[in-house]
């Protein structure tokens, strides 16, 4: 059996390593970046310590699909030669690909793999089937494993997919997609902060960090909006993010991490209790504070932005987008499947993808989903320990199976039959 390279080629991150391993050897951004101190675009490394303030970014993948094969070739060449140190001619490749990829994109991908890099063989898988495989192996006694059926909710970088999986095959006719992912959330956060505080439209890496450290999902948006209007200490959501200065620290940080977590510990009823005397004192203090202008200030405050940004996934219509929310998408995906599968799918919902890491994400989804589901069905949502890496782990598990080599398309078959005919073996 030849060496198998497992490559989860996401729009935001590349996860790569050897098949059969527990964790990927390399996790890097799928992009090239150019800091202000450089004249050329650089490859990201696993330990990037450069100042990424206002860094320009080039990505080979947009809206989940490969649009720049030349750039992707450059990134993969650096990955295989400098980071993984593998020889493609003596290796097989297991590659993850988004659902419903266009034939022209599939041809470009196959040309990269067989003609430019010269891999020995190729297997293409989609993320939901790999997540299902990993979860069923991790919990062999669960309903998901016994019924061989699950509903994978993949909140990724470019989009959010709701995909039913049956016997390790994704049911394409039941897949629903929301054109919202981590990239759209970061862009929305950029707009909010730029409008209210300082211009951060060019700070992609910085605002990604702000989103990951400070954003959370609200269980009651109306109540939280009222709390966010309060002054001083009654406002549980106010927190300060300090920007890098390029001298003492090259990365931004949360000024008071303890204060940023207050909302997770306080009950909503206690937070909503009025205190008129404290309110008047805080108003006077705030007026005095406004008079003192700090021209050297390199920080900004976040309040309701912290929960309004993840709210896009649950209520995109509130922002003028003609999209269904996540709970409605799940119901539509389940209703597209056979009635016998529906109760099992509702009990086997798996959350994966980086955007599912927001605090209270699963609780909010359960709250929104329960009124839409028939009362005789149970709703059970499973969260993963590491939703960013579990797609790769499922690929690693598949690559170590005894019959993996027989399911791959070899380079000789590709040269004889072409891309379109070889792709039929992968069922999507």
The answer to whether 132 touches 394, Cβ cutoff 8 Å, is: yes
The answer to whether 282 touches 232, Cβ cutoff 8 Å, is: yes
Q: What is the pLDDT of residue 272?
A: 44
Report the CATH number at residue 140. 3.30.420.40
The answer to whether 173 touches 99, Cβ cutoff 8 Å, is: no
Q: Would you give per-residue pLDDT tens digits along the chain (428 residues)?
A: 458 999 999 898 999 999 889 889 999 999 999 888 888 998 887 666 667 777 889 999 988 889 999 999 999 999 999 999 999 888 999 999 988 888 899 899 999 999 999 999 999 999 999 999 999 888 888 887 788 899 999 999 999 999 999 988 899 999 999 998 999 999 999 999 998 888 888 888 889 999 999 999 999 989 988 888 888 777 888 888 888 887 777 788 888 888 778 777 765 444 444 444 444 444 444 444 433 334 445 888 888 899 999 999 999 988 788 888 999 999 999 999 999 999 999 999 999 999 999 999 999 999 999 999 999 999 999 998 889 999 999 999 999 988 888 888 888 888 888 888 777 777 65
Q: What is the pLDDT of residue 427?
A: 64
Q: Let me know whether 232 and 350 are in one domain.
A: no
How does strand 61-62 pair with strand 65-66? Answer: antiparallel
**What is the count of structural domains for the chain?**
3
The answer to whether 305 touches 189, Cβ cutoff 8 Å, is: yes
Q: Let me know whether 155 and 232 are in one domain.
A: no
Q: Let me know whether 195 and 288 are in one domain.
A: yes
Q: What is the pLDDT of residue 293?
A: 35
Residue 80 structural domain: 3-127+391-426
Q: Let me know whether 260 and 306 are in one domain.
A: yes
| Helix H or strand E encompassing 78 | helix 69-78
Q: How far is CA 36 from the centre of its chain?
A: 27
- Among 259, 283, 310, the domain boundary falls at 310
Q: Let me know whether 376 and 326 are in one domain.
A: yes
Please classify residue 188 by burial: count the beta carbons closer than 10 Å to its beta carbon, then call 0-12 exposed, 13-18 middle and 19+ buried. Answer: buried
Q: Let me know whether 208 and 269 are in one domain.
A: yes
Q: Let me know whether 378 and 411 are in one domain.
A: no
**Cα→Cα distances 379→138, 163, 362, 369, 385, Å:** 20, 16, 11, 8, 20
Q: Let me know whether 193 and 272 are in one domain.
A: yes
Q: Let me know whether 9 and 120 are in one domain.
A: yes
Q: Let me know whether 190 and 279 are in one domain.
A: yes
């Amino acid at each position: 059996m030849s060496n198998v390279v497992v490559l989860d080629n996401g729009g935001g991150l590349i996860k790569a390593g050897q098949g059969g391993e527990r964790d990927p050897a390399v996790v890097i951004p799928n992009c090239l970046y150019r800091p202000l101190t450089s004249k050329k675009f650089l490859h990201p490394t696993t330990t990037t310590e450069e100042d990424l303030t206002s860094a320009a970014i080039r990505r080979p993948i947009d809206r989940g699909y490969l649009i720049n094969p030349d750039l992707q070739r450059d990134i993969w060449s650096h990955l295989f030669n400098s980071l993984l140190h593998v020889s493609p001619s003596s290796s097989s490749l297991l590659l993850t690909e988004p659902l419903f990829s266009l034939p022209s994109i599939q041809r470009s991908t196959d040309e990269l793999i067989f003609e430019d890099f010269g891999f020995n063989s190729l297997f293409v898988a989609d993320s939901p089937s790999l997540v299902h495989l990993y979860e069923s192996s991790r919990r062999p006694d669960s309903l998901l494993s016994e019924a061989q059926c699950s509903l994978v909710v993949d909140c990724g970088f470019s989009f959010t997919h709701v995909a039913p999986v049956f016997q390790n095959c994704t049911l394409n006719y039941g897949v629903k997609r929301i054109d919202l992912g981590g990239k759209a959330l970061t862009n929305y956060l950029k707009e909010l902060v730029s409008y209210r505080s300082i211009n951060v439209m060019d700070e992609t890496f910085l605002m990604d960090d702000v989103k990951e450290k400070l954003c959370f999902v609200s269980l009651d948006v109306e109540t939280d909006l009222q709390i966010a209007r309060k002054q001083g200490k009654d406002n549980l959501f106010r927190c300060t993010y300090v920007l890098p200065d390029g001298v003492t620290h090259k990365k931004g940080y949360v000024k008071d991490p303890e204060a940023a977590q207050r909302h997770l510990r306080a009950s909503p009823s206690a937070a909503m209790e009025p205190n008129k005397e404290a309110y008047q004192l805080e108003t006077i203090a705030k007026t005095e504070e406004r008079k003192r202008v700090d021209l050297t200030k390199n920080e900004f405050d976040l309040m309701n932005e912290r929960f309004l940004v993840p709210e896009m996934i649950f209520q995109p219509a509130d922002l003028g987008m003609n999209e269904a929310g996540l709970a409605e998408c799940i119901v539509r995906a389940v209703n597209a499947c056979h009635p016998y599968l529906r109760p099992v799918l509702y009990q086997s919902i798996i959350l994966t993808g980086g955007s599912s890491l927001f605090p209270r994400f699963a609780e909010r989804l359960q709250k929104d989903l329960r009124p839409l589901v028939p009362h005789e069905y149970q709703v059970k949502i499973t969260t993963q320990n590491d939703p960013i890496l579990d797609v790769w782990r499922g690929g690693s598990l598949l690559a170590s199976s005894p019959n993996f080599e027989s399911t791959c398309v070899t380079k000789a078959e590709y040269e004889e039959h072409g891309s379109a005919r070889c792709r039929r073996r992968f069922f999507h």
